[in-house]
């Protein structure tokens, strides 16, 4: 047989694209269109309906950046269209090949009922099927002219990322607004051809099946009348029917498809626009569910549901109905799809608590899995927290973006830091926006790592980020691929069903231990430092407000615990932990608003805490300690004078009574600070030339400490997201200070201030402080930052041979090798941590603490004298220009610290101390802390009243050092009983009743890093 592949394939491609596709709509009549440009922010339907409209012609420019234009469209279905499928078809001027992040619209009936959205790849609205002919159509269309920030693949900075800088030049040309007849035979023919052509080109040239399809397509083209596409479409489909009917091989891989629409809660658009994106996409989804009974849609992020509930009641009602019918599957059980590294432990717990409760309350559905496809790596604390929230499975996707190493599994057990395992899947289709293309189906099979053991994988399908979600075309592809030779079998099903089947067939799946580190997007630990600082501060202020509100509720008659306010504030903080807000990868508008929200949260939480403390009554000045550890340290009183105080964990003490005699006073001599525990010498260049641990009789540093190094930082792509290894090759050390000055010389504290000017007019002022009774060296930092495409690091070369570093994560810490023996270790050149990083050798360790920094690197070298230098370098601030050209510009204030001679336990305690400053207030306080714990390693993370308003006290604690721990928890109130609960404060059946000792304490035994939630019933 002659090889005619080229002729046939080119023939089919041309006829398909140039003749068949244009014939999908058999007849059209234009709408009469009028327009009204809404001033400023979006307006309610009622206001738009009453607005003055003006005639609008097609091929006319419309839509300034971030604007809203309302179009009134009127038309009449021609009488001769009776019995046919009629649709409204609109092209707003869609651009590029990305269906999200550009113009979108929501179509309403004249009474305000939302019908369906119009998106780049979903341009129709059903009118009648069949039409009766003569119908009067009257639509009001809310069109959003969102700019395409992703244009040109982020090649250049753009001012379009903020309404304040975007200008008002119209962005789009309205191309089409028609009533049209959908020719269903031609439409189905188009889909038959799509599926067969794509299957054909992804089969090997040696495969007989490829050639069978090719010749069937050639015969189909012979059957097509080019002068009557509509009239011959049915005959063409008959030619293709036999090749579409050939069943899949018995051993064919099964792809479980689930409808999905990944909608970033903010990214290249502000939160206000996401509220509208959700309504558009969800209206599309519920409309599609009416057309396809076998359709199932999985949707996460309770926050987005709440937005729709509050702003689009019609869409909300349709969602509720779809859930009842089993076509809509709430998944994920989180408030938002949060970043997987940066939120604190209690914050991740609250993500799960608030998300799961929302779905239980509004749908009667308890989600069973964590749905988190698009986050930039995942903390090793997740398996335990997911299980404690009642989840059985975990789904992610982003690890497929690894720059260096291919992740070895697609279905596996993920083991967290405490030993908890959760069944996890990582779809080999490598996308959460699948459309069942031939390329995707080929990739899913070829890529699947579990061949020979597992037979199935998951594929979330649908256009995300405002693309409108799943479409009827994708559903039709799924139907054709349900049982088709040469392709994996496709079944649309609930993700719970997929996970149950996958686990049943592969119960002994391999185990991955520890974090799921993404070898990409490492700069998200640092970009937009003020956003990250706002999150850290908010988490700690929430802890503080809950503790003292609980204290007041127990001891202050008439005080009302602020349930609603705390709930609202928690949800605000949880929203801003979304995986494109907290990581710093959003446009300027998003981060501008985030900083304002954090300021508002801080103000409200400060007021709540002050109110709770004041409610405890008048009685002099008192010091309050929110930390879970006893504190003896130097503070400044309200008058500004230093005082040395002792305050119990989670408790308070009178300022006068808490004052204790200070140990050896601080002395300041030249540029040397000495408190008898540590002696710090500041060099002329402003670095630390020596930090001598007097207790251990050893020098801590092996080089210049607190060396500020300014690196060139231009990644290959994804500026706000990435830091590539070549940043290390070009840098400037900041060694020319403007001044080095003693600014504090007191027996309780001494401080030296170093000021520098550098780069493009940036300044940095650092105050190096040593306090009586503490080996901790604080470096308070104030930066006025005006650099571009730079990263500033602060390095501490330490004279220890550390085989690994330990970095705090949620409810524990992870150890990472300091060597680069393999490509896996080498790829971890920038990593995340929370309040501390610890390095050490047997018998001696050093910690570097921080109050708002997450990114760092740890490296080591061997010196000529044979000793080893292990260097911890904190990433302080960056200056990416895309997608926010002014990212990180301006003022930053934060503190980081060096803690010589530190154990892991010391790092934990001092990390809390640095992040939870002692509070001085006028108050009588409470006689005892709400809870106190005796037992090393048992750390209290949260103290609050139960969410069910029963008055029970809920305490969450964990083992913080990495070993087994035993302790006794005692209460500052009469204790009637204790229960062990899950995160949602429901009793755990296997250990429902906690042991209460005879003296009223609760006995606690914890495995390494175990999280335990106790519900304490109050006695009389």
Which residues, in sequence order, are CB contacts of 471 under 8 Å at separation 6+? 121, 122, 284, 288, 462, 463
- Ranges of H-type helices in 773-931: 823-826, 904-915
The verdict on whether omega for the bond into residue 734 sits within 30 degrees of 0, i.e. cis, is: no
Q: Supply angle C-alpha 301, 306, 312, rounded to 5.
A: 125
Chain-centroid distance, C-alpha 659: 44
Beta-bridge partners for 815: 806
- Ranges of H-type helices in 326-414: 345-363, 382-388
Distance from C-alpha of 147 to C-alpha of 170, rounded to nearest angstrom: 10
What single DSSP character describes residue 301?
-
Report the side by side order of strands in the sheet with 369-371: 369-371, 393-395, 421-425, 411-415, 511-513
Which residues, in sequence order, are CB contacts of 375 under 8 Å at separation 6+? 337, 338, 339, 340, 341, 396, 398, 579
- What are φ and ψ of residue 298, in 5° steps? -100, 130
Distance from C-alpha of 404 to C-alpha of 412, rounded to nearest angstrom: 21
Distance from C-alpha of 927 to C-alpha of 945, rounded to nearest angstrom: 19
Of 374, 713, 778, 952, catalytic: 374
46: tokens are 């009622």
Distance from C-alpha of 965 to C-alpha of 685, rounded to nearest angstrom: 46
Distance from C-alpha of 469 to C-alpha of 477, rounded to nearest angstrom: 15
What single DSSP character describes residue 659?
B
- What are φ and ψ of residue 693, in 5° steps? -85, 105
Reported as type and span, the H/E element at residue 955 is strand 953-959
Closest Cα to residue 308, out of 295, 297, 320, 298?
320
DSSP codes joined into one string, 197-215 = HHHHHTS-TT-HHHHHHHH
N-terminal to C-terminal alpha carbon distance within the chain? 94
> How, if at all, do strands 855-862 and 868-878 pair?
antiparallel
Closest Cα to residue 1004, out of 943, 906, 928, 937?
937
Q: What 3-state DSSP class applies to 584?
A: coil
DSSP codes joined into one string, 103-147 = -EEEEEETTS-EEEEEBTTB-EEEEETT--S--EEEEEEEEEE--
100 close to 466: Cβ distance less than 8 angstroms: yes
Closest Cα to residue 628, out of 655, 615, 647, 610?
647
DSSP codes joined into one string, 713-751 = ---SS-TTT---GGGGGSEEE----SEEEEEEEETTEEE
Name the one residue in this structure whose structure tokens are 């940095």. 764
Q: How far is the CA of 468 from the CAs of 103, 591, 710, in angstroms?
A: 12, 25, 44
897 close to 849: Cβ distance less than 8 angstroms: yes
Chain-centroid distance, C-alpha 725: 24
- The reply to whether 374 belongs to the active site is yes
Distance from C-alpha of 414 to C-alpha of 392, rounded to nearest angstrom: 11
Specify burial of residue 503 (Cβ count, 10 A radius: 0-12, 13-18, 19+).
middle
Provide the annotated active-site residues: 374
């Amino acid at each position: 047989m002659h090889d005619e592949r080229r002729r046939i394939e080119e023939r089919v491609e041309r006829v398909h694209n140039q003749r068949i596709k244009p014939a999908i709509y058999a007849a059209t009549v234009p709408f009469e269109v009028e327009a009204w440009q809404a001033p400023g922010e979006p307006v309610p339907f009622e206001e738009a309906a009453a607005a003055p409209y003006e005639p609008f012609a097609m091929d006319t420019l419309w839509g300034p950046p971030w604007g809203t234009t309302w179009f009134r469209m009127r038309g009449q279905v021609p009488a001769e269209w009776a019995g046919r499928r009629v649709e409204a078809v609109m092209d707003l001027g869609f651009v590029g090949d990305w269906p999200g992040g550009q113009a979108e619209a929501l179509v309403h009936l004249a009474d305000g009922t939302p019908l369906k959205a119009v998106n780049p790849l979903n341009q129709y609205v059903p009118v009648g099927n069949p039409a009766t002919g003569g119908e009067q159509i009257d639509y009001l269309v809310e069109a959003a002219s969102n700019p395409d920030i992703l244009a040109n693949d982020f090649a250049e900075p753009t001012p379009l990322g903020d309404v304040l800088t975007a200008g008002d030049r119209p962005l789009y040309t309205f191309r089409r607004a028609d009533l049209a007849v959908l020719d269903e035979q031609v439409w189905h023919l188009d889909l038959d051809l799509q599926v067969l052509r794509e299957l054909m080109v992804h089969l090997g040239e040696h495969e007989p099946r490829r050639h069978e399809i090719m010749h069937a397509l050639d015969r189909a083209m012979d059957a097509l009348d080019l002068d009557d596409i509509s009239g011959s479409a049915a005959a063409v489909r008959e030619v293709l029917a036999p090749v579409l009917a050939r069943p899949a091989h018995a051993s064919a891989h099964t792809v479980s498809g689930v409808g999905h629409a990944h909608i970033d809660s903010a990214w290249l658009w502000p939160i206000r626009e996401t509220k509208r994106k959700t309504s558009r996409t969800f209206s599309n989804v519920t409309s599609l569910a009416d057309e396809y009974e076998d359709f199932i849609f999985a949707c996460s992020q309770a926050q987005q549901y709440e937005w729709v509930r509050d702003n689009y009641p019609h869409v909300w009602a349709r969602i509720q109905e779809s859930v009842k019918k089993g076509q809509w599957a709430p998944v994920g059980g989180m408030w938002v799809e949060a970043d997987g590294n940066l939120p604190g432990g209690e914050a991740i717990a609250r993500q799960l608590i608030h998300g799961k409760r929302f779905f239980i309350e509004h749908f009667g559905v308890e989600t069973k899995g964590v749905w988190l496809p698009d986050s930039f790596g995942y903390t090793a604390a997740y398996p335990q927290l997911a299980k404690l929230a009642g989840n059985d499975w975990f789904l992610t996707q982003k690890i497929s973006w690894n720059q260096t190493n291919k992740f070895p599994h697609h279905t596996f057990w993920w083991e967290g830091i405490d030993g908890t395992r959760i069944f996890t899947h990582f779809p080999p289709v490598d996308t959460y926006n699948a459309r069942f293309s031939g390329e995707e189906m080929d990739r899913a099979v070829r890529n699947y790592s579990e061949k020979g053991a597992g037979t199935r994988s998951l594929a979330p399908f649908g256009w995300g980020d405002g693309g409108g979600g799943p479409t009827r075309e994708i559903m039709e592809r799924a139907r054709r691929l349900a049982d088709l030779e040469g392709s994996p079998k496709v079944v649309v099903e609930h993700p719970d069903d997929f996970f149950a089947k996958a686990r049943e067939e592969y119960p002994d799946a391999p185990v991955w231990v520890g974090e799921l580190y993404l070898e990409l997007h490492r700069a998200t630990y640092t970009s937009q430092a003020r956003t990250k600082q706002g999150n850290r501060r908010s988490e700690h202020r929430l802890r503080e407000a809950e503790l003292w509100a609980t204290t007041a509720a127990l001891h202050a008659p008439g005080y009302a615990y602020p349930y609603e306010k705390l709930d609202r504030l928690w949800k605000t903080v949880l929203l801003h932990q979304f995986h494109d807000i907290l990581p710093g990868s959003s446009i300027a508008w998003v981060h501008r608003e985030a900083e304002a929200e954090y300021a508002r949260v801080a103000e409200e939480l400060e007021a709540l805490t002050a109110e709770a403390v004041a409610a405890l009554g008048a009685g002099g000045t008192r010091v309050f300690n929110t930390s879970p550890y006893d504190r003896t340290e130097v503070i400044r009183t309200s008058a500004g004078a230093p005082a040395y105080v002792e305050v119990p964990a989670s408790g308070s003490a009178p300022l006068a009574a808490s004052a204790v005699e200070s140990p050896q006073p601080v002395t300041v001599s030249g540029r040397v600070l000495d408190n008898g525990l540590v002696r710090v010498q500041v060099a002329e260049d402003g670095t630390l030339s020596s930090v001598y641990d007097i207790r251990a009789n050893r020098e801590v540093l092996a080089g210049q400490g607190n060396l500020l190094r300014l690196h060139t930082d231009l990644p290959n792509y994804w500026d706000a997201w990435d830091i590539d290894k070549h940043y290390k090759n070009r840098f400037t050390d900041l060694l020319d200070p403007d001044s080095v000055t003693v600014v504090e010389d007191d027996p309780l504290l001494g401080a030296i201030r170093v000021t520098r000017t550098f780069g493009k007019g940036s300044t940095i002022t650092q105050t190096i402080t040593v306090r009586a009774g503490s080996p901790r060296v604080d470096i308070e930092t104030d930066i006025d930052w005006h650099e571009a495409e730079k990263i500033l690091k602060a390095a501490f070369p330490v004279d220890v041979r550390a085989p690994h570093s330990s970095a705090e994560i949620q409810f524990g810490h992870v150890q990472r090798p300091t060597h680069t023996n393999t490509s896996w270790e080498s790829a971890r050149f920038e990593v995340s941590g929370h309040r501390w990083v610890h390095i050490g050798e047997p018998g001696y360790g050093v910690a570097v603490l921080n109050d708002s920094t997450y990114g760092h690197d740890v490296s080591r070298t061997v010196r000529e004298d044979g000793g080893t230098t292990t260097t911890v370098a904190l990433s302080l601030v960056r200056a990416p220009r895309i997608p926010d050209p002014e990212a990180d510009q301006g003022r930053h204030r934060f503190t980081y610290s060096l803690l010589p001679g530190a154990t892991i336990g010391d790092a934990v305690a001092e990390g809390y101390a640095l992040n939870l400053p002692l509070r001085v207030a006028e108050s009588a306080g409470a006689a005892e802390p709400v809870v106190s714990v005796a037992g090393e390693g048992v750390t209290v993370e949260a103290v609050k009243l139960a969410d069910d308003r029963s008055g029970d006290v809920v305490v969450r604690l964990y083992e913080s050092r990495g070993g087994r721990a035993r302790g006794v928890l005692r209460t500052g109130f009469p204790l009637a009983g204790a229960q062990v609960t899950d995160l949602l404060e429901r009793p755990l059946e296997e250990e429902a009743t906690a042991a209460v000792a005879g003296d009223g304490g609760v006995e606690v035994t914890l495995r390494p890093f175990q999280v335990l939630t106790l519900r304490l019933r109050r006695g009389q």
